[in-house]
A and B are shown apart, each in its own frame.
Chain A
Amino acid sequence: MKKLLALLLCGIMVLGTAACGSAEGGKSNGETSQEADGTGSGQSSEGTQEVVFWHSFSGATEAALTSIINEYNEGRGKEKGIHVELVYQGYEGTDKVMLAYQTKDYENAPDINVGLTSTIPAVMDMGWTVNVEEFMNDGESEVTKDTFYEPLQQACTYEGQMVAVPFSNSIPLLYYNKDMLKEAGFEKAPETMDELTQYVEALTVKEGGETSRYGLNMQVKRYQLVEFCVSQKDVSFFGDNQGGREAPMTKIVAGEDGTLKAFLEKLQALLDTGGYKYVEDNINEEFAQGLSAMAIMSSSRMGTLDELMPGKYMTAYLPKVNAEDAGGAAVGGSCLNIFNRDNDERVKAAWDVVQYCVSPESQYTFSTASGYIPVNVGCEELDEMKAYYEKNPQYKVALDQMKDANPLSQEPLDLTYNEINGIITEIMLEFCQGNMSVDETVQKIVEQCNAALDEYHSVNG
């Protein structure tokens, strides 16, 4: 027993020593930053300006971002005396930035963070977030508003200013199995929800009362519901104040303008076919396995589907709720936010890094690895991008859909994103299970979302 205890204690002592050693090593390895010189300036002894870049990407997307940053560090960064430290933070990155801000922990915050566009109001509420429009208006800047497509400019606009930089953006698409549609005698993808219902009826396969192939798979959560609402008419908004872009959103308007009801009625027709799977289990894999003939998902899933079913699928625009709708689908995804940690030199360096990341060449690397839409208008003019689109037309559909959409067709900046997503997911599930009528569903979604917004405003002034 004594031996075991002695052994254990020895082991722990070694680990403890390693803990202290590595912790200190960790600091100096960072070479970076605050700890390195103790001033918080982020300048190393050679005078290199350090920039900390937090992201949430993994897999091929992370590899693409790493290669862009490595290129920067070796080339332009070296010339300008800037070095970027890329740090994976998972989806908690924005929460961590807020936590650091609340606790005034400037030393352990990033200079650049990849955050969802829907979090822009909360991020801009923090005093240290830089309004990038000021940089873009500077005559010397290589990146201006016009660098980006109009829908993307609008996606990053809050209270009339383009406050963040578009970076990893996607758009919902209808994915369809080419062979299955051909077998059913369809030459092209459905363009409206009425057509979609006909397609679903024709594509659904039932064997002995069991559905062995669904015509369509899509679970309606906040993302899907919002997309179908804002794409209606010439332009529609999900919330007031242009969906929270002109001023903070205070209520849902999709109920009073009829867009929510119109979508639910079409969805009811889809449900009545019995061939629409309204919950998502493994939507990518099920679609790849032929368990569903069509699926509505974000364009950023294309990279995954290329691996699962190369060449067997094609994409199309999100079906219109009404044939006369001209709004088009809204872009979603993430943007780059810059923070000023009481050091203007760092901010300037961070802006240089951001400009490099959204250059046409960097966007080619990033977009082709991930399936995200290239944000720079110059990217589609590159010869290699043209060749890529010719070989992979499904990616071009995403870009074209975004360009064809009304720039004002946008996801709302709904302040209580997670709560509203929870409310919509739960109520839509009830609706799809047949427990609520269209009118009841509209009323419940509007009431509960408005209550969540009211609570937010009462707490936050």
Chain B
Amino acid sequence: MKKGNHLFYQIVCIVLGILLILPVIYAVNISFMPQDEILTTKLHFFPNVFGYLENYKIVFMHTRILRFMWNSLIMAGVSSVVRVIIASLAAFSFSFFEYKGKKILFALVVGSMIIPADVLVVQNYFTTAELGLINTYLGMMVVFFISGINIFVMRQNFMSYSISLKEAAQVDGCTNFKFYRKILMPSNIPVITTVFISSFVGTWNTYLWPLLVTNTDAMRTAQVAVTMLNNNEGSNYGVGAVMAAAVVILVPSVVVFLLFQRKIVGGVMAGAVKG
């Protein structure tokens, strides 16, 4: 790439990055502002004094946010791992084996991607209630265990994987599951990480389903804490408290992303097959 182009590319990326991060920074700043500082007609980007913690006190005193975050962590963590396992096994089957009805099955998986989740709510609730899973973590997670788009993404990734590697492994006496476990998965870390992060963030941000299948305050998720503080007729904790709650529940998503983002670009198949 020419030097000029490179510089232009960098500038565009930086500007885009700033545009994307600005609302988040503004939200963080608001969480440190008292009400009268937020409610001004002029743009007030930075708080006058950093260290105003009343909004955070409201969050921790008026909601059980830590308990809610723990619930969310269990729900998002377990369902993301299960999703990775199920999606990778399904994708393994779709990309490395030939059997009758494979194309139809794959078409069904892809077809499931166009069904909006909202239309399934009643039926899913019915099934979950019939299984006796209301008010349980399993009930909160079960609908997130399988995702058509994750299977699709992994299958596409596995399709580009060299079939000769599998054949070579088989010649050496490697079983199918051993190949999946010892060779395929470790060499596909980027896609696993991508699926895990998107699944974790997606499930972490879910509001309606966990609210539907739980009936006790102890089982609520982090997103509910924000709505509990949100402007409600008759009472008002203010925008600052809502932003403080949003900032607090943003932390785990950011941590997960920071922990795993290196793996997205880091794990390439370099050197897997020689010649």
User: What residues of chain A have their CB less than 8 Å away from a CB belonging to chain B?
Assistant: 1-2, 5, 8-9, 11-12, 15-16, 18-20, 22-23, 26-27, 29-30, 35, 52, 54, 57-62, 85, 87-90, 92, 96, 99-100, 102-103, 105, 107-108, 110, 168, 170, 284-285, 288-289, 291, 298, 300-301, 303-304, 307-308, 369-372
Contacts and interface: CB of A to CB of B under 8 A. Distances in A.
Interface of B: 35, 39-41, 62, 73-74, 77-78, 81, 121-122, 125-126, 129-130, 134-138, 141, 186, 189, 208, 211-212, 215-220, 224, 227-238, 267
Given A11-B77, A87-B215, A107-B134, 19 more contacts: A1-B189, A1-B267, A5-B186, A26-B135, A27-B135, A30-B216, A57-B234, A59-B234, A61-B234, A88-B220, A88-B224, A89-B211, A89-B215, A92-B211, A108-B215, A285-B39, A288-B39, A369-B235, A371-B233
Looking at B81, B189, B231, B235, the one whose CB has the most chain A CB atoms below 10 A away is B235
Contacts, number: 144
Nearest to B233: A300
A456 to B, nearest CB: 18
A15 B73 contact: yes
Contacts of B234: 57, 59-61, 168, 300-301, 303-304, 369-372
Contact of A291 (B41, B74, B126, B227): B41
Contacts of B212: 92, 96, 99
B232 A61 contact: yes
A54 B237 CA distance: 22
A12 B77 contact: yes
B77 A99 contact: no
A19 B122 contact: no
Nearest to B212: A96
Contact of B78 (A19, A52, A88, A99): A19
Interface of B is mostly: helix
A26 B212 CA distance: 16
A19 to B, nearest CB: 4
Nearest to A168: B234
B30 to A, nearest CB: 13
Nearest to A25: B218
B39 A289 contact: yes
A11 B249 CA distance: 20
Contacts of B81: 8-9, 12
B236 A87 contact: no
Looking at A5, A11, A87, A300, the one whose CB has the most chain B CB atoms below 10 A away is A87
A334 B141 CA distance: 32
A37 to B, nearest CB: 15
